């Protein structure tokens, strides 16, 4: 490529005007080369760069600007100013703005056999077509009932009138030509369904129109360092012998998206390690402002495209609200080095699995094994549900992982293998080996590849906005109904004595390292372990009993005072909810023919009634008049359809749709008076309230890392709040009517599953 020739007289005048040192020709040539490379890459992706195809057009455009820009705002900002082809549309994601944007004229739905597929939106740009669609009403019976069975993987496409097929590309489909405003969206089958279990070959006719003039497209600014740029730090000018490379422990911010209330930051961190070594991130990303205040953030799912573009899978993203922040922000990750102890060291032992090992069978060994100078305690071996064995180890805190092989066998999968799961001075982990057919008899097990945990490292970087935004309100007033924000959460006081007489049920990490069900007194004075390996527990309305699904595939009811257990025979389930009178329990089934179905069991008679067989359902709770509320998700969105079941008439009724719930774990909960449904929002961090008829839907907890949600009979809403930089959580009590709120004196690695206040 020929050199970029600057106008020397013009350059001198600029230098004199701004009082900056002379720029070296090789620096200008490097900037020009980088810009041309970017222009060429963007051209191949979007068919044009800033509307100009030829290289000379780009050179002409930057000739009068480049030198001033380099002197005044620095090379990284020059880079950013020329790379704003892409924009961000909330809820859509990243779009190319090099050509006019089109959208779907109106949503399109088709119903077949009570299954509804709706194309909710489409965004058409010069480089691709983005289609958003969702599905509702697929019965659980249409899906595989085993994890090792894979259902349909559809190859959706757009079909034009002339028969042209536009197939999938990254984050969308091939672009629809600008002069074509109609297409048929074809879905060969519903994702993961089994052949013949659900309607196939869906065709939805779509029409496209120009995007509305008021469509908000936020700018995406790239802050990429100049590749291969060499700088003489002392002279603040390019040098041939001082290559710039990222610091070993620097977090980079490479892209910034302006949002209506703040920013989306995207970047990477690539720790430099020695050959054969790696690293392990410990905890979540942490952001603090210049005053030391911890900044709450959410993970922006709709910019995954940008995050995944970061090199070597090192991308991260965070969406923050920018009012009241002191810059610069400090972004950090905590981690440790992982390195091999002795690549050649091995150890062997044998155990007899017998001729017919059964799923769930356990061999308690407690055998100490020496490997590479470290002692590994093999606690037990379990025949697991994946046709293989799970090996449970206890090791010293320096050991990170170990490889496990059964000699003479070929597994179909290996899982686990290590981690940082310290309980006191012991690290615990399991290794799972899966087979098509479980090995039997006397088995020889070989241990190798022991890896160790090195020093703790903090990767850190700083970021400030290019300019202070004037469109953000300095002290925004949230609606009065919002009771907790990250700022107000930090000011919460401990709950008064009147609110500490009662119990909370937590699913939490025990001292043994296992996860179980634990009942805590509200004042934090004592706790009681209900089940060493229990989950999905439910506290009875009077706070005296805990129901939970046990390992024997039955429901158990534990009496807290008497320390006795009642077993309810029959297939068990999860997501348990007691009826107000304590006589029935609603749950989601897990046995054959009842996976994810809504069921109700009578505690006295053990009679089971099946209510609904839709897939991936969740139970909301019981109203005072005996209605059972539950919800089923739309596949492919954050929407949930709410239903009720009336026992006296045996009828099911659709109530309303939650459009902004999390698609992961909605965790809805109906207040005891039947007035409110609380649920987690789409950001997986906030909590909303809505009346059971769908009215007055509003935010109540804003971006506070909410997980578990439970009501007390007195109308207090309990929410377990995950600490952003650790696995620990606290429990907050909120009065939704007055916004009175407190913290309970209970901190644990756990989630709230029951609340009782006397």
Task: Read off the pLDDT of residues 40-64 as tens digits, 9 standing for 90 and up.
Answer: 333 333 332 222 233 333 333 333 3
Cβ distance 168 to 669 under 8 Å? no
| pTM beyond cutoff 0.95 | no
pLDDT in the model for residue 93: 86
**Residue range 131-151, pLDDT digits in tens:** 999 999 999 889 887 766 788
Q: Give the dihedral sign, CA 378/379/383/384.
A: negative
Dist. CA 186–CA 164, nearest whole Å: 12
pLDDT in the model for residue 389: 94
Average pLDDT, the chain: 82
Q: Is the peptide bond before 127 cis (omega within 30 degrees of 0)?
A: no
Q: Report the candidate in 184, 220, 216 with the shortest Cα–Cα distance to residue 201.
A: 184
pLDDT in the model for residue 478: 64
Dist. CA 758–CA 744, nearest whole Å: 15
The answer to whether residue 595 scores a pLDDT higher than 50 is yes
The answer to whether residue 339 scores a pLDDT higher than 70 is yes
The answer to whether residue 38 scores a pLDDT higher than 50 is no
Q: Enter the tokens of residue 755.
A: 């609340």
The answer to whether residue 79 scores a pLDDT higher than 80 is no
pLDDT in the model for residue 507: 93
Which of 193-202, 216-225, 542-551 is predicted least confidently? 216-225
The answer to whether residue 553 scores a pLDDT higher than 60 is yes
The answer to whether residue 167 scores a pLDDT higher than 90 is yes
Q: Report the candidate in 756, 752, 732, 724 with the shortest Cα–Cα distance to residue 331.
A: 724
The answer to whether residue 32 scores a pLDDT higher than 50 is no
Helix H or strand E segment including 750: strand 750-757
């Amino acid at each position: 490529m020929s050199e970029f020739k600057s106008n020397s007289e013009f350059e001198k005048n600029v230098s004199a005007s701004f009082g900056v040192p002379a720029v070296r020709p090789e620096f200008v040539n490097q900037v020009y080369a980088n810009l041309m490379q970017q222009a060429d890459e963007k051209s191949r992706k979007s068919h044009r760069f800033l509307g100009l195809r030829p290289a000379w057009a780009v050179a002409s455009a930057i000739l009068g600007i480049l030198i001033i820009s380099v002197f005044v705002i620095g090379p990284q900002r020059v880079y950013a100013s020329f790379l704003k082809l892409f924009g961000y549309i909330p809820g859509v994601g990243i779009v190319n703005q090099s050509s006019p944007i089109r959208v779907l004229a109106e949503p399109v739905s088709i119903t077949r056999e009570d299954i509804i597929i709706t194309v909710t939106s489409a965004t058409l740009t010069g480089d691709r077509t983005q289609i958003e669609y969702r599905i509702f009403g697929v019965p659980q019976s249409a899906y595989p009932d085993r994890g090792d069975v894979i259902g349909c993987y559809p190859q959706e496409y757009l079909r034009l009138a002339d028969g042209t097929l536009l197939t999938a590309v990254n984050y969308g489909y091939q672009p629809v030509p600008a002069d074509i405003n109609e297409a048929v969206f074809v879905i060969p089958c519903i994702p993961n369904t089994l052949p013949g279990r659900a309607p196939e070959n869906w065709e939805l006719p779509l029409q496209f129109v120009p995007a509305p003039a008021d469509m908000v497209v936020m700018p995406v600014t790239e802050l990429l360092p100049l590749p291969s740029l060499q700088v003489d730090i002392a002279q603040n000018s390019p040098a041939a012998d001082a290559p710039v490379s990222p610091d070993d422990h620097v977090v980079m911010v490479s892209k910034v998206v302006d949002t209506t209330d703040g920013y989306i930051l995207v970047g990477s961190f690539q720790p430099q390690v020695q050959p054969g070594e790696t690293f392990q991130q410990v905890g979540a990303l942490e952001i603090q402002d210049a005053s030391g205040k911890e900044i709450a953030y959410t993970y922006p799912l709709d910019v995954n495209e940008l995050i995944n573009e970061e090199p070597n899978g090192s991308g991260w993203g965070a969406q923050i609200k920018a009012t009241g922040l002191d810059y610069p922000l400090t972004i950090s990750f905590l981690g440790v080095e992982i390195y091999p102890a002795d690549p050649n060291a091995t150890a062997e032992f044998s155990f007899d699995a017998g001729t017919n090992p059964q799923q769930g069978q356990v061999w308690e060994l407690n055998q100490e094994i020496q490997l590479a100078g470290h002692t590994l305690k093999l606690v037990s071996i379990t025949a697991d549900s994946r046709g293989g064995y799970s090996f449970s180890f206890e090791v010293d805190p320096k050991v990170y992982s170990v490889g496990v092989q059964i000699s003479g066998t070929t597994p179909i999968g290996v899982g686990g293998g290590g981690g940082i799961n310290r309980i006191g001075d012991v690290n615990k982990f399991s290794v799972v080996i899966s087979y098509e057919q479980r090995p039997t008899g006397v088995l020889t097990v070989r241990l190798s590849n022991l890896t160790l945990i090195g020093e703790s490292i903090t990767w850190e970087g700083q970021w400030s906005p290019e300019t202070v935004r004037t469109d953000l309100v300095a002290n925004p007033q949230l609606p009065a109904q919002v009771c907790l924000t990250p700022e107000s959460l930090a000011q919460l006081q401990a709950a008064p004595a009147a609110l500490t007489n009662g119990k909370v049920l937590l699913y939490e990490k025990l001292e043994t390292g296992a996860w179980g069900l634990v009942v805590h007194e509200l004042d934090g004075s004592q706790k009681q372990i209900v089940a060493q390996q229990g989950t999905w527990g439910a506290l009875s309305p009077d706070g005296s009993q805990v129901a939970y699904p046990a390992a024997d595939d039955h429901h158990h009811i534990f009496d807290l005072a008497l320390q006795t257990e009642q077993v309810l025979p029959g297939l068990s389930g999860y997501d348990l909810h007691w009826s107000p009178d304590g006589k029935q329990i609603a749950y989601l089934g897990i046995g054959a023919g009842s996976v994810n179905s809504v069921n109700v069991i009578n505690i006295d008679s053990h009679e089971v009634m099946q209510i609904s067989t839709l897939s991936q359902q969740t139970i909301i709770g019981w109203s005072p008049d005996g209605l059972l509320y539950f919800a089923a998700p739309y596949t492919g969105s954050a929407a949930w359809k709410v239903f009720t079941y009336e026992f006296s008439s045996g009828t099911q009724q659709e109530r309303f749709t939650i459009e902004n719930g999390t698609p992961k774990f909605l965790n809805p909960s109906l207040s005891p008076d039947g007035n409110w449904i609380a649920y987690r929002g789409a950001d997986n961090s906030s909590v909303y309230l809505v009346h059971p008829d769908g009215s007055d839907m509003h935010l109540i907890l804003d971006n506070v890392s909410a997980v578990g949600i439970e009501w007390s009979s007195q109308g207090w809403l309990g929410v377990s709040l995950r600490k952003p930089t650790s696995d620990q959580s606290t429990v907050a009590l909120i009065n939704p009517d007055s916004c009175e709120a407190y913290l309970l004196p209970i901190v644990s690695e756990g989630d709230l599953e029951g609340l009782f206040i006397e």
